[in-house]
Structure 1
Amino acid sequence: MNSLPIWLLHVSRTEQITPHMARITLTGDDVRGFSLEEADQQVKLYFPRPGQSRPVLPEVTETTDLTTWYQAYGAIPEDERPWMRSYTIRAHDPATNSLTFDFVLHRHAGPATRWAMNAREGDCLGVFGPTDYFARPKPLSSSVEEADWVLLAGDDAAVPGMATIIESLPPGKRAFAFVEVQDAADEQPFTTGADLTTTWLHRGAAEPGHSEALAETVRAATLPDGEGFAWIAGEAGLVRRIRRHLVDDRGLPKSRIEFSGYWRLKLTQDDAPTPEDLAEAQERLAEAQAQSS
């Protein structure tokens, strides 16, 4: 057994579920015995460079630790080093030892989109996780159960994670989902026993991240009394604006908001963090330390 959960899995199925989202299932013996205990469980995916049949990753042994592995990963020549991106596990099927991921097919294709658009049965992908290294200070399920109502807001990239949360909501839990996609063809049905109200927003021809419809709709929304919990994900700047509104205008404590800037306008995960990214990271660290103390 590897000391780090780093797997090489292979494509077993591809499906186009909306015009701008592909669903890809990966399988392999490494998934055997795995259990998905929390919704919105993120992992790192490693995409092979052009000409590679599999991503070039450092060897993992029983004694390999996280720091040593990442140092070895960083030492791989840049033109050989796999692209790394964060993704949410959409589903896990223990009967077939498989994990499923949903990929947004962006107009300006990056490495993940290019891989997803061309994925074929047998193609190889690296997966790091799930692991406690990426775990939340407080389980998402606990935050949801403690709340009287739940607000979820995000763009296309947030749909897979949002869907797993909605599916896991307790029966009857009051919940509000605000989702921005390109048009009605990109809407997806959510399955839940919760008391869910979903508002779909269509940005049309506008570039992702440039529309203010999602932020404006959340600002105008009527929310119930009681203790709320919010989950926000998508373009980093949009996420920050919605979070600022919930804290400053709605009085929602920061400890009751979970937020993730999945992507950044004109930047990728390969680019250096901005001052806003660094400030956000410091705030996350402070909140994690406060919750663990």
Structure 2
Amino acid sequence: MNTTGLLEVTAVRRVTPRTVRVTFTGDGLGELEPWPDQQLKLLFPPPGRPVRLPSPDDDVMRWYQAFLAIPEDERPVMRSYTVRDRDPARAAIDVDFVLHDASRHDGPATGWARSAAPGDVLGRYGPDATYRRPVPIAGTVVIAGDETAVPAAATLLSEVDNALVFLEVPDAAEEQPLPGEVRWLHRDGAPHGKKLLEAVRGASFGPASAAWLAGEAGMVRSLRRHLVGERGLDKRVIEFTGYWRRELTQDDAPTSEDLADAREKLGG
């Protein structure tokens, strides 16, 4: 299928006080092959401008170079999101956006989601099967993340029936109905990731387990260090993604730790 095109909003609803679920339709979505933790790039146009996309290209690097060649004042802002659900009959997908407590902290994606309405149009790249990651296989699969990991965790739980799941969210109001048993952890003002790391440290599972980790990059890094250094899990059985970085955006340069994570994911 064509991995690039336009998306039109058909519905917007709050599923929790801090989570907005947006339904999009678009060409090719009806033929979209499903897989767990399916990510795509959403392209947000500059204020007051329509979405300008590079020409379609099956090669991601050529597509990205064409994207960078768009003049800066016309170039969309690109952010990664997870397909929360899909409806092939309507050629539709759902994407969840986590909102901050205060709009002054909004980035371009969160600010867009806060006022999204039917008829709004974004661009997309993906989902691209090139970036499909395997579902962890083991006697126990540890799934751990923050509120940004909830959509992907939901899709994983539709495939994994032996999961030990820990999800840290701001408070009880952010819990969502998910398949299986989930251990919800409420920050209630505690530092981000503190309760999640404590819960995983205190959980009972053996070195033959596998893991899937996602959320704030520093939190994910701490979880991986615990699982490898203290639990003895092989790095190769841990799938991990830092969805966001504290005090930094996707437009900021990668840190040395970000680059190390990227090399490890590529097997370097």
Q: Which TM-score band applies after superposition, normalised by the shorter structure?
A: over 0.9
Alignment counterpart, residue 56 of structure 1, candidates 52, 55, 59: 52
Q: Structure 1: state its 5+ residue gaps.
A: 288-293
Tell me the CA shift for residue 66 of structure 1: 2.7
Identity of aligned residues (%): 51
* SS of equivalent to 1:286: coil
Equivalent in the alignment of 1:241: 222
Equivalent in the alignment of 2:173: 185
Alignment counterpart, residue 218 of structure 1, candidates 185, 200, 207: 200
Equivalent in the alignment of 1:79: 73
Tell me the CA shift for residue 191 of structure 1: 2.1
Are 2:87 and 1:93 aligned? yes
**Superposition CA RMSD, Å:** 1.7
* SS of equivalent to 2:214: strand
* SS of equivalent to 1:242: helix
| 1:89-238 pair list within 5 angstroms | 89-107=83-101, 108-136=105-133, 139-140=134-135, 143-144=136-137, 147-169=138-160, 173-192=161-180, 196=181, 198-206=182-190, 209=192, 211-223=193-205, 225=206, 227-238=208-219
Q: How far apart are the structure 1 equivalents of 2:218 and 2:207?
A: 28
Tell me the CA shift for residue 168 of structure 1: 2.0
Q: How far apart are the structure 2 equivalents of 1:18 and 1:75?
A: 39
Equivalent in the alignment of 1:13: 11
Tell me the CA shift for residue 206 of structure 1: 4.6
* SS of equivalent to 1:159: helix
8 Å CA contact 1:150, 1:230 repeated in 2:
yes
Q: Structure 2: state its 5+ residue gaps.
A: none
Amino acid at match of 2:163: A
Q: How far apart are the structure 1 equivalents of 2:195 and 2:142?
A: 16
Tell me the CA shift for residue 77 of structure 1: 2.3
8 Å CA contact 1:55, 1:125 repeated in 2:
yes
8 Å CA contact 2:169, 2:186 repeated in 1:
yes
Are 2:7 and 1:26 aligned? no
Structure 1 residues 203 and 82: CA distance shift in structure 2, 3 A: same
8 Å CA contact 2:207, 2:232 repeated in 1:
no
- Per-residue CA shift, 1:70-96, capped at 9, x if unaligned? 122112222221111111111111111
TM-score normalised by length of structure 2? 0.93
8 Å CA contact 2:97, 2:110 repeated in 1:
yes
Alignment counterpart, residue 63 of structure 2, candidates 66, 69, 87: 69
Amino acid at match of 1:85: R
* SS of equivalent to 1:11: strand
Q: How far apart are the structure 2 equivalents of 1:153 and 1:64?
A: 33
Tell me the CA shift for residue 132 of structure 1: 3.0
Q: How far apart are the structure 2 equivalents of 1:65 and 1:164?
A: 27
TM-score normalised by length of structure 1? 0.86
4+ aligned runs moved over 4 Å, structure 1: none
Equivalent in the alignment of 1:290: none
Q: How far apart are the structure 1 equivalents of 2:100 and 2:202?
A: 28
Alignment counterpart, residue 43 of structure 2, candidates 46, 50, 60: 46
**Which shows bigger deviation, 72-81 or 263-272?**
72-81
Structure 1 residues 32 and 175: CA distance shift in structure 2, 3 A: closer
Q: How far apart are the structure 1 equivalents of 2:80 and 2:69?
A: 20
Tell me the CA shift for residue 200 of structure 1: 1.2
Q: How far apart are the structure 1 equivalents of 2:121 and 2:201?
A: 43
